[in-house]
Amino acid sequence: MADNQNAQAQNGAYTEQLPSNAKLFSILAYVGLLWLLGLLISPEKTSPFVRSHVNNGIILLIMEGVAGVVGTLLNFIPYVGWLLDLALWGCCIAVMVMGIVAAAKTKYFSIPVIGDKIKIVK
């Protein structure tokens, strides 16, 4: 945790030198199961920056699964259920885009509301 705090500046930017492909693996963490690449395969898997984005990718995949199940149940309600289903998927896509943009700018990102409370990868 201390390494993470030392590397994080006031604005959330990563200030230490990143390993060569850390930014790539951080971006890929937000695309489906590709977070596995950053967790298992990449030589940058010990980087706190990559591990933070991999954690967010896992949380996002869980959110997408929940949105799929809840969306299926909501689809039985005409119109209102369809709009709520669309809103759930819109939130998942918005979180994915925000995470990819933060990783591309070499900044830390936390998923709103639940990101700070859930730590799967430490």
**pLDDT tens-digit map of 58-113:** 999 999 999 999 988 988 888 898 899 899 999 999 999 999 999 999 898 898 88
Q: Encode pLDDT of 19-72 as tens digits.
A: 778 888 899 999 989 888 888 887 777 888 888 899 999 999 999 999 999 988
Q: Does 5 fall in a domain?
A: no
Q: Does 15 fall in a domain?
A: no
> Per the confidence metrics, is the pTM higher than 0.85?
no
**pLDDT at residue 56 in the model:** 92
**How many distinct structural domains can be found in the chain?**
1
Q: Does 14 fall in a domain?
A: no
**pLDDT at residue 17 in the model:** 72
Q: Does 17 fall in a domain?
A: no
Q: Does 92 fall in a domain?
A: yes
Q: Does 2 fall in a domain?
A: no
46, 22 in Cβ contact below 8 A?
no
pLDDT confidence bin for 1, thresholds 50/70/90: very low
- In terms of phi and psi (left: phi > 0; alpha: psi -120 to 50; beta: otherwise), the region of 14 is beta
Report the 10 Å Cβ neighbour count for 121: 18
Q: Does 11 fall in a domain?
A: no
Q: Is the torsion defined by CA of 111, 112, 115, 116 positive or negative? A: positive
Number of alpha carbons in the 13 Å side-chain half-sphere of residue 81: 11
